[in-house]
Amino acid sequence: MAACGDGGADTSVPGPILAGPVETSTTTTTTTIEVKTTQLEDTATTPLPAEDGPGSIGFVGCSMSRGAVAGYELVGGTRFWPERIGYGGGSIGRWASAITNEGTRYWEEFERELVAHPDTRAVWWNLCTFKGSNADSYDSAVEVLDEIESRLPGVVVYVSAQPAYGGGHVCALAGEGGPALMDEVARRLVDDGRVEAGPAMGPLAASETSDGCHVNDTGKELLGGQLLEFFG
Protein backbone atom coordinates (compact mmCIF):
# COMPACT_ATOMS: atom_id res chain seq x y z
CA MET A 1 0.00 0.00 0.00
CA ALA A 2 2.08 2.75 0.19
CA ALA A 3 1.94 1.63 -3.20
CA CYS A 4 -1.43 1.59 -3.93
CA GLY A 5 -1.76 -1.02 -1.52
CA ASP A 6 -2.28 -4.34 -3.11
CA GLY A 7 -1.67 -5.90 -6.41
CA GLY A 8 -4.91 -4.59 -7.75
CA ALA A 9 -6.73 -7.85 -7.39
CA ASP A 10 -8.11 -6.81 -4.07
CA THR A 11 -11.85 -6.65 -4.35
CA SER A 12 -12.32 -7.23 -0.66
CA VAL A 13 -14.26 -4.91 1.48
CA PRO A 14 -12.26 -5.25 4.12
CA GLY A 15 2.61 10.07 2.29
CA PRO A 16 5.08 14.07 5.03
CA ILE A 17 2.82 16.94 6.15
CA LEU A 18 2.27 18.45 9.52
CA ALA A 19 -1.21 19.48 10.51
CA GLY A 20 -1.93 22.26 12.90
CA PRO A 21 -4.65 22.38 15.49
CA VAL A 22 -8.30 22.15 14.62
CA GLU A 23 -10.20 25.19 15.79
CA THR A 24 -13.99 25.23 15.93
CA SER A 25 -16.10 28.36 15.52
CA THR A 26 -19.86 28.43 15.88
CA THR A 27 -22.47 30.81 14.46
CA THR A 28 -26.20 30.75 14.95
CA THR A 29 -26.70 28.66 11.84
CA THR A 30 -23.58 26.66 10.98
CA THR A 31 -20.47 25.16 12.51
CA THR A 32 -17.15 25.23 10.68
CA ILE A 33 -13.85 23.61 11.35
CA GLU A 34 -10.72 25.54 10.42
CA VAL A 35 -8.18 23.08 9.09
CA LYS A 36 -4.66 24.47 9.23
CA THR A 37 -1.79 22.71 7.56
CA THR A 38 1.91 23.16 7.14
CA GLN A 39 2.35 20.40 4.61
CA LEU A 40 5.18 20.85 2.16
CA GLU A 41 6.42 23.79 4.21
CA ASP A 42 3.27 25.70 3.19
CA THR A 43 0.37 26.89 5.29
CA ALA A 44 -3.26 26.73 4.22
CA THR A 45 -6.47 27.44 6.06
CA THR A 46 -9.74 26.32 4.54
CA PRO A 47 -13.11 26.14 6.28
CA LEU A 48 -14.36 22.57 6.38
CA PRO A 49 -18.09 22.29 7.07
CA ALA A 50 -18.87 20.13 10.08
CA GLU A 51 -21.75 17.70 9.81
CA ASP A 52 -23.52 16.17 12.77
CA GLY A 53 -23.70 12.76 11.12
CA PRO A 54 -20.95 10.58 9.65
CA GLY A 55 -19.87 10.76 6.05
CA SER A 56 -19.14 14.44 5.50
CA ILE A 57 -15.63 13.62 4.25
CA GLY A 58 -15.15 11.27 1.32
CA PHE A 59 -11.88 9.68 0.31
CA VAL A 60 -10.07 8.46 -2.79
CA GLY A 61 -7.08 6.14 -2.74
CA CYS A 62 -6.08 2.52 -2.32
CA SER A 63 -6.11 -0.22 0.30
CA MET A 64 -3.54 1.71 2.34
CA SER A 65 -6.01 4.60 2.41
CA ARG A 66 -8.69 2.22 3.61
CA GLY A 67 -6.40 1.10 6.40
CA ALA A 68 -5.92 4.71 7.47
CA VAL A 69 -9.68 5.34 7.52
CA ALA A 70 -10.19 2.10 9.44
CA GLY A 71 -7.72 3.46 11.97
CA TYR A 72 -9.60 6.76 12.08
CA GLU A 73 -12.76 4.86 12.98
CA LEU A 74 -10.79 2.80 15.52
CA VAL A 75 -9.66 5.91 17.39
CA GLY A 76 -13.15 7.41 17.43
CA GLY A 77 -13.45 9.38 14.20
CA THR A 78 -16.90 9.55 12.58
CA ARG A 79 -16.71 12.04 9.72
CA PHE A 80 -15.28 9.86 6.93
CA TRP A 81 -17.06 7.59 4.51
CA PRO A 82 -16.82 3.97 5.77
CA GLU A 83 -13.51 2.21 5.20
CA ARG A 84 -15.17 -0.81 3.59
CA ILE A 85 -15.08 0.77 0.12
CA GLY A 86 -13.43 -1.48 -2.47
CA TYR A 87 -10.47 0.72 -3.36
CA GLY A 88 -7.83 -2.01 -3.33
CA GLY A 89 -5.15 -1.45 -5.96
CA GLY A 90 -6.26 2.16 -6.45
CA SER A 91 -3.12 3.82 -7.74
CA ILE A 92 -3.30 7.20 -9.48
CA GLY A 93 -3.00 5.55 -12.88
CA ARG A 94 -5.79 3.08 -12.20
CA TRP A 95 -8.14 5.82 -11.01
CA ALA A 96 -7.33 7.78 -14.19
CA SER A 97 -7.83 4.77 -16.44
CA ALA A 98 -11.16 4.00 -14.77
CA ILE A 99 -12.57 7.35 -15.92
CA THR A 100 -13.08 6.01 -19.45
CA ASN A 101 -13.15 2.27 -18.79
CA GLU A 102 -16.70 1.32 -17.96
CA GLY A 103 -17.14 -1.50 -15.51
CA THR A 104 -14.10 -0.64 -13.41
CA ARG A 105 -15.02 -0.38 -9.78
CA TYR A 106 -13.30 2.76 -8.52
CA TRP A 107 -15.70 5.43 -9.72
CA GLU A 108 -18.66 3.13 -9.19
CA GLU A 109 -17.62 2.77 -5.55
CA PHE A 110 -17.05 6.52 -5.27
CA GLU A 111 -20.44 7.36 -6.76
CA ARG A 112 -22.27 4.87 -4.55
CA GLU A 113 -20.82 6.43 -1.41
CA LEU A 114 -21.49 9.93 -2.72
CA VAL A 115 -25.15 9.07 -3.18
CA ALA A 116 -25.24 7.52 0.29
CA HIS A 117 -23.62 10.63 1.80
CA PRO A 118 -25.14 13.66 0.03
CA ASP A 119 -23.69 16.04 2.65
CA THR A 120 -20.12 15.30 1.55
CA ARG A 121 -18.24 18.60 1.47
CA ALA A 122 -14.62 17.49 1.35
CA VAL A 123 -12.53 14.64 -0.05
CA TRP A 124 -9.27 13.31 1.30
CA TRP A 125 -7.18 12.06 -1.62
CA ASN A 126 -4.38 9.68 -0.68
CA LEU A 127 -1.99 9.33 -3.63
CA CYS A 128 -0.86 5.73 -4.20
CA THR A 129 1.56 4.13 -6.64
CA PHE A 130 2.98 0.83 -7.80
CA LYS A 131 6.69 0.29 -8.20
CA GLY A 132 7.80 1.22 -11.71
CA SER A 133 4.42 2.49 -12.88
CA ASN A 134 4.71 5.36 -15.34
CA ALA A 135 0.94 5.87 -15.13
CA ASP A 136 1.08 7.19 -11.57
CA SER A 137 2.06 10.64 -12.76
CA TYR A 138 1.14 14.26 -12.19
CA ASP A 139 -0.77 14.33 -15.50
CA SER A 140 -2.83 11.32 -14.45
CA ALA A 141 -3.45 12.95 -11.08
CA VAL A 142 -4.86 16.04 -12.82
CA GLU A 143 -7.29 13.80 -14.71
CA VAL A 144 -8.44 12.23 -11.46
CA LEU A 145 -8.85 15.64 -9.84
CA ASP A 146 -10.92 16.84 -12.80
CA GLU A 147 -13.19 13.84 -12.37
CA ILE A 148 -13.60 14.35 -8.62
CA GLU A 149 -14.57 17.98 -9.18
CA SER A 150 -16.98 17.11 -11.97
CA ARG A 151 -18.80 14.64 -9.73
CA LEU A 152 -18.78 16.90 -6.68
CA PRO A 153 -18.69 20.57 -7.75
CA GLY A 154 -17.30 22.93 -5.15
CA VAL A 155 -15.65 20.16 -3.15
CA VAL A 156 -12.53 20.91 -1.11
CA VAL A 157 -9.89 18.28 -1.86
CA TYR A 158 -7.11 17.56 0.63
CA VAL A 159 -4.18 15.62 -0.80
CA SER A 160 -1.64 13.44 1.01
CA ALA A 161 1.10 11.22 -0.31
CA GLN A 162 0.98 7.56 0.61
CA PRO A 163 2.76 6.83 3.90
CA ALA A 164 6.51 6.85 4.07
CA TYR A 165 8.40 4.12 5.96
CA GLY A 166 11.01 4.57 8.64
CA GLY A 167 14.21 2.78 9.53
CA GLY A 168 15.18 2.17 5.92
CA HIS A 169 12.20 -0.14 5.35
CA VAL A 170 10.91 -0.37 1.77
CA CYS A 171 7.44 -1.50 0.79
CA ALA A 172 7.92 -3.85 -2.16
CA LEU A 173 4.68 -2.76 -3.81
CA ALA A 174 5.59 0.93 -3.87
CA GLY A 175 9.32 0.51 -4.32
CA GLU A 176 12.04 2.57 -2.71
CA GLY A 177 11.06 5.82 -4.44
CA GLY A 178 7.28 5.37 -4.38
CA PRO A 179 6.37 7.51 -1.36
CA ALA A 180 8.75 10.29 -2.46
CA LEU A 181 7.23 10.27 -5.96
CA MET A 182 3.74 10.63 -4.52
CA ASP A 183 4.94 13.45 -2.28
CA GLU A 184 6.26 15.28 -5.33
CA VAL A 185 2.93 14.87 -7.16
CA ALA A 186 1.13 16.15 -4.05
CA ARG A 187 3.41 19.19 -3.93
CA ARG A 188 2.67 20.06 -7.54
CA LEU A 189 -1.07 19.73 -7.04
CA VAL A 190 -0.94 22.01 -3.99
CA ASP A 191 1.20 24.51 -5.88
CA ASP A 192 -1.44 24.58 -8.62
CA GLY A 193 -3.86 25.96 -6.07
CA ARG A 194 -6.64 23.47 -6.80
CA VAL A 195 -6.17 21.30 -3.72
CA GLU A 196 -5.23 21.79 -0.09
CA ALA A 197 -2.29 20.13 1.63
CA GLY A 198 -3.56 17.19 3.65
CA PRO A 199 -2.10 15.47 6.70
CA ALA A 200 1.30 13.81 6.73
CA MET A 201 0.90 10.04 6.78
CA GLY A 202 3.47 7.90 8.56
CA PRO A 203 6.26 7.15 8.73
CA LEU A 204 5.47 3.52 9.35
CA ALA A 205 7.86 1.04 10.92
CA ALA A 206 8.04 -2.47 9.49
CA SER A 207 6.51 -3.69 12.76
CA GLU A 208 3.43 -1.56 12.04
CA THR A 209 2.69 -3.47 8.85
CA SER A 210 1.13 -6.87 8.28
CA ASP A 211 3.03 -7.69 5.10
CA GLY A 212 5.75 -5.07 4.75
CA CYS A 213 3.32 -2.57 3.19
CA HIS A 214 -0.21 -2.67 4.59
CA VAL A 215 -0.89 -1.54 8.13
CA ASN A 216 -1.63 -3.89 11.00
CA ASP A 217 -3.71 -2.75 13.99
CA THR A 218 -0.83 -0.71 15.39
CA GLY A 219 -0.27 0.96 12.04
CA LYS A 220 -3.97 1.67 11.72
CA GLU A 221 -3.93 3.51 15.02
CA LEU A 222 -0.96 5.60 13.88
CA LEU A 223 -2.47 6.64 10.55
CA GLY A 224 -5.95 6.96 12.01
CA GLY A 225 -4.64 9.26 14.70
CA GLN A 226 -3.03 11.46 12.07
CA LEU A 227 -6.35 11.75 10.22
CA LEU A 228 -8.20 12.47 13.45
CA GLU A 229 -5.75 15.20 14.45
CA PHE A 230 -6.13 16.88 11.07
CA PHE A 231 -9.83 16.48 10.28
CA GLY A 232 -11.34 16.13 13.74
Domain assignment present for residue 204? The answer is yes
CATH number at residue 123: 3.40.50.1110
Can the peptide bond before residue 118 be classed as cis, meaning omega within 30 degrees of 0? no
15 falls within a domain? no
24 in any annotated domain: no
The sign one gets for the Cα dihedral 173, 177, 179, 183 is negative
| Helices 105-116 and 138-151: angle between axes, nearest 10 degrees | 30
Statement: residue 215 has pLDDT above 50: yes
| Owning domain of residue 127 | 31-231
Q: Confirm whether pTM is higher than 0.85.
A: no
C-alpha triplet 213, 223, 188: angle, nearest 5°:
85
Q: Could you read off the pLDDT of 115-165 as tens digits, one per residue?
A: 999 999 999 999 999 998 889 999 999 999 999 999 999 999 999 999 999
Sheet containing 122-127, strands listed edge to edge, beginning at the edge strand earlier in sequence: 57-60, 122-127, 156-161, 196-197
Q: How far apart are CA 16 and CA 171, in angstroms?
A: 16
Would 64 be classed as within a structural domain? yes
